[in-house]
Amino acid sequence: MLIRIIKSYRDIVTVCDSELIGKKFEENKFRLDVKENFFKGDKTDEEKAIEIMKNMSGEDATFNIVGEKSVNTALKAGIITKDGIKKIQGVPFALVLL
């Protein structure tokens, strides 16, 4: 799993399963482009990712989460709920604006 914090007015946290980097998914006029220049971050284990997500949720960050492992980790961190998960071509993703 890769995690990256993009510093801006409102920080953006990207969390992505590493094997999805560079792939594109399309379904019913929706497109998910897992661009390396946006999603590629530091390789992180689940425990560290949960810690980062919890800390960043307190900082009013937004989250872009893609992939089975990443979405499940965000669920464990309490960042998303099952209702907030969508899928494109079977790939789960979630966008969070806190």
Alpha helices (H) along 4-98: 36-39, 46-57, 68-77
> 2-97 in CATH: which number?
3.30.1860.10
Q: What average pLDDT does range 49-56 have in this prediction?
A: 95
Structure tokens at 22: 């560079």
Q: pLDDT by residue (tens digit) across 1-43?
A: 999 999 988 999 999 999 999 999 999 899 999 999 999 999 9
Contact 56, 15 (CB under 8 A): no
Helix, strand and coil in the chain, % to nearest 5: 35, 35, 30
Residue 80 has pLDDT above 70, yes or no: yes
Q: What average pLDDT does range 81-96 have in this prediction?
A: 95
CA distance 42 to 40: 7
Residue 59 has pLDDT above 90, yes or no: no
CA distance 57 to 97: 9
**Whole-number average pLDDT of the chain:** 95
